[in-house]
Structure 1
Amino acid sequence: MLTFTRRRVRVTALLVSSFFVWANLAQAASTIVINEIGAYETTDHEWIEIYNMSSEEVDITGWKFWENDTNHGLNESQGDLIIEPGEYAIIAQKADIFLTDHSGFNGTIIDSSWGTLKESGEEVGLKDNDGKVVELFTYIEAPNFSLERKDPLLADYTPSNWQEHADSNTVGEQNSNYLLSEPIEEPEDPKAPEDNSTPLEEEISPESNGSKPKILPPQPGEIVISEFVSDPSDGEEEWVELYSLYDYPIDLAGWAIEEGSGAKTKLAGTLGAYTYFVVEKLKGNLNNKGDIIILKDPQEKIIFELTYGEWDDGNVKDNGPVASDPFSVARIKHATQRRQDKNNYQITATPTKGQANYITKPEEKPSQPEANPPLAETRSESSQPTTTPAVLRPIQYPPLQISEFLPDPEGNDHELEFIELFNPNTTTVSLIDWQLDDAEGGSRPFKIATGEIEALSYKVFFAPTTRLTLNNNGDSVRLFNPSSELVDLIEYDKLDTGIAISKIDNAIQQTSTPTPGQPNVITENIEIDESLDFTQAVTSEADAFTAGDKILTIGIVTVPPGILGSKIMYINGLQVYMHKADWPKIDLGDEIQVQGEISIVQNGTRIKLKGKEAIGVISSNGLIEPNLVEVIDIEENLLSQLISISGEVVESKKGTFWVDDETGEIRVVIKSTTNITQQPEVGDMVSITGIVDKTRSGFRLLPRSNDDIVISQVLGEEYAEEISSAEKTISLKKIAHGIGNFFKSLWQRIFN
């Protein structure tokens, strides 16, 4: 059964010939796949091509490219992060270099950064904005030309589905070896549950040659109990920490932890591959003198169990130790899968809830503890766990950032200098053994001995605590994780007194308003260098120039940076682009002067800036009113313009809806960066303000905030009620006529 949805009517038609295509598509639940790999290119010129093989657009804002055991951020460079159906997009190691190498490429380019892609093959993948793995695999060798995927619907990463291009690449185009696999002609079970598995939940058997994925759930020993506290400090709770040795994310719905009394704690959420998961608020109690902890999957299969203390399981001598307040029991680095809890677990004076285990004896100070994540084991051919250890992945600490620092305060440097950290994660992160330092060979590093930083929060360290001296004439600030890996580095030259270095949206800027412990504020206007050879023009004349022309123009901000993308803003119907995203403070309604180079992209003409020095703020509060237009009049001349339309919502789904004003329909797209929460429903009468944009699917309207979406009437109220002078009365006759036309169109679509 294939279901078409259009406007207010849902029609189900039996299309036997189309079923087999959809059955084959169901093999790969992920709609975005890695489709081509340019590892053969030299460093800084490498790229990855992704492909949206679904019939729906996919917003990849917040996604990560996984390579070398590192999450690499994705930022729009050309186009946006909404990948259209059937669209190829490029993740470039350096977007500006890629655009130079492929000057004729006008598709979506996403800027990222990594060391180098190995021509011999390595593990790469994609993660969504929740950190869940979308696709993960090790690609095969391709030393001379690009590596192309034959069938994007197959989760097959062998040479049968991936081949090296004969003499070049097909970047942004259909692969030269493209060939969909034969449809799987199996009867459909209408009562079968929807298959929500991802390619990472599928294991390819040697016999299948990639054509029939086989789901193999976690086996005993692939999820372990990594650490637990049975005797918490006053005011604290017992907790159990799990660690996954399984290669794919696991939905914990239906899983449970059971203790000796039989009390079960039901689990919920997702346990990522090689990550930790903490269970608190346990049902029952873990006995301080001894107990058993059992992890069961939804089929009541025991995946892991351990006993500690006096619990009698027939061999008390083999039980793990008992930890008293405030210590925990942690799994050691070289633990085996045999039931030897006495040897596999130790008491530690350094509980590390949700992070890699640190084993320190209670009488010792944790000066330089060794990180001890549980060791992964391999699976034998019979799919039963063995005791053969596999290679460990590096410990993945949650990322923290240097958010702000003040080297030369107005007052005593030794008291008022500060360094501020920011936690961009959605969970609290322990700060134990993280280090702050200035330039190499300068002050002695400051190691944080205690404390944590809450989710999306700031933590400030003043000079009397760190004993770091930030030089007024230039220095650097460095942040290291507990494995002594450099996580963040900001270098600076001589600064004026009272000027802080702040980071906003990964852009490093100077500010005269330090805000320790609070969101950063940038207060500085940039002077324009008028000595450069630029042609002065008004924004409306931008289309008359050609790519590469240098112009200087003045306009009023209709969309500030960061609203519709981190690297773009809009002034008077002109998109302004900056690859560095190094924006000064710019607000809606500011009158600004910009100087840059004209570039032509799919969605029109834009001016490209080198940096914040190309922008100067002239004045504020010069808001522009949108032009009220009809959909039929939206053409190329309105690209990047701020307009307003009014009409009826005729289709709506998360993040997108269609408005019909009786002259035509236009799609309204809500970008995640706008933080818009309103979602009109079918039948609502609305007025929408936004920027006119264009993709391969046609024109669309991009609202900037909740204020740009006004719902004025809901279908079902009196049709004769007049909404506004810009809106018309909805006629039942016209609605019936529209539904009739829809059925006529659908009938032709199915049977012609």
Structure 2
Amino acid sequence: MYHFSAFYVNFTGVLVYLTYMRSLFQYKKTRLSLLIIVFGVVAPEFFALAEPRSVVITEIASSLPTDEEWIEVYNTTDGIVDISAWRFVEDFTENDPDGVRHKLTSYRADSLLDPREYAIIANNAALFLEKHQDFSGALFDSSWGSLKETGEKIEIIDGNGVVIEEFSYLQTDDGILARKDPFFSDYSSLNWVNVQGGGTPGKPYDAIILPLTPASQTSTPAEISPNSSSSEQVIFPVKPLEPPTAAAGINVAARVGETIIFDGSRSYDSSGGELLYHWDFGDGTKAEGAVVKHAFLLEGDYRALLTVSNSVGNDSDSARVTVVGDSSEPALLKNNEPLALTPEDTRTLPPKTEAVIQGIVTVEPGIFAKTYFYISSKDGTVASQVYSADGEFPDLHIGQVIEAAGTISSYYGVKRIITRAPGAISVIRGEDPLPGEEVALSLIDDAYLGRLITLKGAVLKEDGKIFITADDGGRIRVEVKNGTGISKTDLHEGVLVSLTGIIDKTVNGLRFLPRYPGDIVVVTPIDVDAPEGVSNKSRVLGEKAEIVLPEIEYTPSIETLEYTTDEQSRSGIVKYLVATAAALAFILAGVFVRERQEKQRISSS
């Protein structure tokens, strides 16, 4: 909304400027000076709209059967990009010039793309995995009619409708359309080629590009792309003699003394030759073989380095191993199997580690959002978020001890475990709900993220938002989610309250999320001149009150990382309208001065 409004007002202002100045000013120097002034005022706003692309499309499988179609995207930046609210757009027609938008649903991994990470958007995610069983990257499920083999316009847009990338892809009758350079915004055959076979989903495109010469035409037999241009050809050797590819397995967590099976059998040689395997565990020990065992005797982070070699060369890959605590019961752990841990153990785990976390439920699913809930360590000092893209959770209640199996990730400073299988969460037993830890408001920082705490302070309203403030200078924003059942009429500016809830973080900073009506206890009104007969005793929200407080203004929170509000949009529009009005006033003043000069000239003549 903001981008469109800003552009519209700027564009209108430019038209007004140019139209009036062309008719009013005849002298070249004056007209040139004014054009320079106008350009200096308007140009920065125009160029501010031209933001660099963050995510680009790198492969398009439009020639496959409809259900098997997919596109690959790539994060070109050095930061994490959240694409949870983004849309894939296709099927642009005269009757529908805006195209058809398709939601992206996280099917495997979360919606955060790491720097230089690839992801697949599939028309049918389950079928894609059947066809690409070796694919291990981020996968999003979508649904569209059919991508045209003759080529068509496609877009990737963000949650505000701003175009991230837009182009018309080339005709592809067979094979996969692949982008040579993701940093080059060229959509012709100079930067796109037709790759025979299944493409390279989740990996960079690395075909061999050779000039089309008689020597290359008479070289070793190869499969040549039928869509290659006349100036170059794409050569795919049938069985090249190349170094092997090492695969050390996924990251793993273990306890001191626990035996881990390291499996490098997924390493491969494209020419079918025999491989030699060499392991270096980073603690001074080494081993030979595709599958080996090892136990670490000290806590710490290790890199298990696998080097595989053949007659041509070698390749290396590593698996990160996080070793925690002592193990009183030695066990056998494979580096493709999860380890049962507590929230405390997750603090040092690297992303994409497979693990099972055991903890106590502090927030049930559906209270803050459908897709996640919170668990805590027994002492309440460490918390984790349990996430599922489809929001399929068993019936859970606060106080229950549960186990969640999945992949370790991180979301705004809170460790998150991403679950996928329907049976990934199991209830171990029921316990009493954990109490909130009492913390002074001024001490709240990132160390409390995800934790259940209790704060005391006075209610403050500001710009339609609710804050809690304390005498020690502490202040934090309070957001009431729709699923909490908390009534907004139970709070009033100046009321002293005791709040229990979760510390959370967004791009706007820390915030406090109460869970249920019982989490907010009104201690006493701040106004000492309250009417006679009004009780100042504490009460829990939802109980019968002896004082009726007027309804406060409140802006509900929105589950998205985009924070462009209507107020911001209106203020932006007003700013540009004021600028345009000022320019019109300036122009009208020029008209008046010019008319007076013209009359003086006529009278003098």
- With the shorter chain as reference, the TM-score category is 0.3 to 0.5
- Larger RCO: 1 or 2 (CA < 8 Å, sep 6+): 2
Between structure 1 and structure 2, the one with the greater Rg is 2
Which is richer in helix?
Answer: 2
- TM-score, normalised to structure 1's length? 0.32
- TM-score, normalised to structure 2's length? 0.39
